Chains A and B, each alone.
Chain A
Amino acid sequence: MGRYILRRLLQALPLLFAISVASFAILKATPGGPLAAYEGNPDFTEQDRLRLEHAFGLDRPLPVQYVSWLGSFLTGDWGYSFAHHLPVLQLIGERLPNTLTLMATVFVVVLLLAIPIGVTTALRQYSVFDHVVTGTTFTFLSTPTFWLGLLLIIVFGLQLRWLPLGGIQTPGAEFDVGDRLRHLILPVATIALVQVGSHVRFLRASMLETIAQDYMRTARAKGLQERVVVMRHALKNAAIPLVTVVALDIPELFVGALVTESIFGWPGMGRLFLDAAFRSDYPVLQGILAVSSTLIVLSNLLADVAYGYLDPRIRYS
């Protein structure tokens, strides 16, 4: 097991390397750069440009620039935001916890809803409940996240006035768990309702396949209670592939977070990314891209390891 984890970690390294090269290439391809401010300035001569390029190291060969960029990146020097005049790492560090709170809540809510619903639809295949759930999940799967967010604000914020329209807490108020939860409900619902659908559909299919297996009949023949048969024998096996599906959906979670953060004014990383996009704040854009893709690679890795742990049929050799 230890060797398997180590090997998967080593396999992830080239991927992270490729991602870093891609990030660097994107930064290099973007217009502007540190000298853009001087463009069109009549006092800025060709000599000045060459001198500054030399000072910033922009005249060195690209691979050398990449290595030096990677070195400072790995040591936590992610450059300064053009717009905020703050270190990129500090900016992201302030926003990341808010995004992770949002994502983690969505994650838990989705699993708490998807597992019981998925199991029930499979056990009662073609029942009224199954048809209603299938129809509902299909509807939410086809709903654009941002439109769902707008509708939820119109209904629950503007018409019924049950919940706050946006933000992370009541302005001026002290931090309060109840207040935070009330602000979480609509953003979380926006992302979760879309995601629950895909997980329910997957779990339903996986359960139906498992229920048809011979060992289910054996378990019943042994006289086990139906509850034990379903929860221990069927669900445990049917839920294993869900680990992979959940991990593969994490990029979607980042995207959902960006969209909801922009609609609900949630001060997270996604909104920072969007603001940076409007101000062409490339160091911030690149930093967030690096953080999110690294988190995605690591969560896929975690899913692979968990899959191997949960399913003893997987061999590590």
Chain B
Amino acid sequence: MATKSVVVPVGIELRTAQRSQLSMAFERFRAHRPAVAGVFVLGTLALLSAAAPLISPYDPDKTALLLIYDPPSLAHPFGTDDLGRDLATRILYGGRVSLAIGLLAVTVAVSIGTLIGVIAGYYGRWIDSLLMRFVDMMYSFPRLFLLILFGVIFKGMTIGVIVLVLGVLSWMTTARLVRASFLSLKHREFVEAARCVGAGDRRIIVRHILPNSLAPIIVAATLGVAAAIIAESTLSFLGLGIQPPTSSWGNMLNHATTDMDKAPWIAIFPGLFIFLAVVSINFIGDGLRDALDPRHVVRG
């Protein structure tokens, strides 16, 4: 009975404190104007891509021999490509692929990274050194080289494979962050208190330490989406990622090197959308860092 009467008020106090923390973080995020602009641009890109069939009158894969290399015009705002397909339409459909891959790959990477970081940071000892040496090894390979190798092994990648491979090659930053956070938190008083009232490892990890490690994970995950979009588009640009006729922002640039003297718009527009998405996500990540870290000074 005695423990119960102690636990309840603490729980209530904690909840009210958390809510105000969250709204303070939201205020700080709103004050970061580039980040707000980033949310707006990225949201627009995502909406336009999702609604592609409603917006564009063209079929993204339909070739038109008479319209090959048509420069930007009212009918084709970004021009047409080497097969006479409408570039704007393909960019919208490609956005679905590129944005989805970015998000899903990071989901995989953060899940693996969190799991490994938790095990290394919480249990320590030999398992920590073993896992961290493994992280070192993963960092010693240039990621794109391994991506290309997987592209060869899988003979050009489908969306599912590319998500998995990108995830498996990108979890190390999260793992290091989570581990560092667990190392610094696991001997704090609130963890010891939780252990004293009989909480098991699982509960301590999931309910007590992990919520306190969330801020760096969220920031790293956001920036990871940008990195994943760049990685996918680079791989597809080189011809080893998403295979035509499916369009992604990267593989639309695949023929750009040969076409750019006659049709520079083919090289410019798809890349512009990669850039817009990546810069927006990076700004959002920057804003989240300011918002989630109370020690960070907010500038206007």
A18-B133 CB under 8 A given contacts A144-B274, A153-B260: yes
Partner among A153, A280, A292 whose Cβ is within 8 Å of the Cβ of B142: A292
* A105 proximal to B (CB < 8 A): no
Q: Is the Cβ of B149 less than 8 Å from the Cβ of A285?
A: yes
Q: Mark B132-150, 1 if CB is under 8 A from A, else 0.
A: 0110110111111110110
CB distance from B276 to the nearest CB of A (A): 9
* B253 proximal to A (CB < 8 A): yes
Q: Mark B163-187, 1 if CB is under 8 A from A, else 0.
A: 0000000000000000000000000
What is the interface of chain B mostly: helix, strand, loop, or mixed? helix
Q: Mark B248-276, 1 if CB is under 8 A from A, else 0.
A: 00000100110011001001100100110
CB distance from B36 to the nearest CB of A (A): 15
Q: Which A residues lie within 8 Å of B283 (CB)? A: 138
In the complex, the chain A residue whose C-beta lies closest to that of B230 is: A144
A145-B152 CB under 8 A given contacts A138-B282, A150-B253: no
Q: How far is the CA of A245 from the CA of B295 in the complex (A)?
A: 24
Q: Is the Cβ of A258 less than 8 Å from the Cβ of B144?
A: yes
A274-B238 CB under 8 A given contacts A19-B137, A22-B137, A30-B153: yes
Q: Is the Cβ of A151 less than 8 Å from the Cβ of B268?
A: yes
Q: How far is the CA of A19 from the CA of B139 in the complex (A)?
A: 11
CB distance from A303 to the nearest CB of B (A): 13
Q: Is the Cβ of B267 less than 8 Å from the Cβ of A274?
A: no
In the complex, the chain A residue whose C-beta lies closest to that of B279 is: A142
Q: Which B residues lie within 8 Å of A145 (CB)? A: 234
A15-B153 CB under 8 A given contacts A139-B279, A144-B233: no
Q: Which A residues lie within 8 Å of B78 (CB)? A: none
Q: Is the Cβ of B267 less than 8 Å from the Cβ of A254?
A: no
Q: Is the Cβ of B264 less than 8 Å from the Cβ of A154?
A: yes
Q: Which A residues lie within 8 Å of B149 (CB)? A: 26, 277, 285, 289
Q: Which A residues lie within 8 Å of B267 (CB)? A: 147, 150-151, 154
What is the interface of chain A mostly: helix, strand, loop, or mixed? helix
Q: Is the Cβ of B148 less than 8 Å from the Cβ of A277?
A: yes
Q: Is the Cβ of A146 less than 8 Å from the Cβ of B148?
A: no
Q: Is the Cβ of A254 less than 8 Å from the Cβ of B142?
A: yes
Q: Which B residues lie within 8 Å of A146 (CB)? A: 233-234, 237-238, 253, 271
* B278 proximal to A (CB < 8 A): yes
Q: How far is the CA of A22 from the CA of B149 in the complex (A)?
A: 13
CB distance from A245 to the nearest CB of B (A): 14
Q: Which B residues lie within 8 Å of A141 (CB)? A: 282
Q: Which B residues lie within 8 Å of A126 (CB)? A: 299
CB distance from A128 to the nearest CB of B (A): 15
* B240 proximal to A (CB < 8 A): yes
CB distance from A283 to the nearest CB of B (A): 13
* B242 proximal to A (CB < 8 A): no
In the complex, the chain A residue whose C-beta lies closest to that of B150 is: A26
Q: Which B residues lie within 8 Å of A195 (CB)? A: none
* A31 proximal to B (CB < 8 A): yes
Q: Which A residues lie within 8 Å of B287 (CB)? A: none
In the complex, the chain B residue whose C-beta lies closest to that of A194 is: B230
CB distance from A83 to the nearest CB of B (A): 13
CB distance from A205 to the nearest CB of B (A): 12
* B226 proximal to A (CB < 8 A): yes
CB distance from A11 to the nearest CB of B (A): 9
A296-B271 CB under 8 A given contacts A273-B148, A274-B148: no
* A259 proximal to B (CB < 8 A): yes
Q: How far is the CA of A15 from the CA of B138 in the complex (A)?
A: 10
Q: Is the Cβ of B145 less than 8 Å from the Cβ of A254?
A: yes
Most chain A Cβ neighbours within 10 Å, of B140, B143, B149, B275: B140
Q: How far is the CA of A293 from the CA of B264 in the complex (A)?
A: 36
Q: Which A residues lie within 8 Å of B278 (CB)? A: 142-144
- In the complex, 29 of the A-B residue pairs with CB atoms within 8 angstroms, ordered by the A residue number, are A15-B136, A18-B134, A22-B141, A29-B153, A138-B279, A142-B275, A142-B279, A143-B275, A144-B237, A145-B234, A146-B233, A146-B237, A146-B253, A146-B271, A150-B257, A150-B271, A151-B267, A153-B257, A154-B267, A154-B268, A158-B261, A248-B139, A251-B140, A255-B145, A258-B142, A274-B238, A277-B148, A285-B152, A292-B142
Give me the interface of B with A, judged by CB distance under 8 Å: 133-134, 136-137, 139-146, 148-149, 151-153, 226, 230, 233-234, 237-240, 253, 256-257, 260-261, 264, 267-268, 271, 274-275, 278-279, 282-283, 299
Using A144-B233, A144-B274, A293-B140 as known contacts, list a sample of 10 further A-B pairs with CB atoms less than 8 Å apart, ordered by residue number in A.
Answer: A14-B133, A15-B136, A15-B137, A18-B134, A138-B279, A141-B282, A158-B261, A251-B139, A292-B145, A297-B140
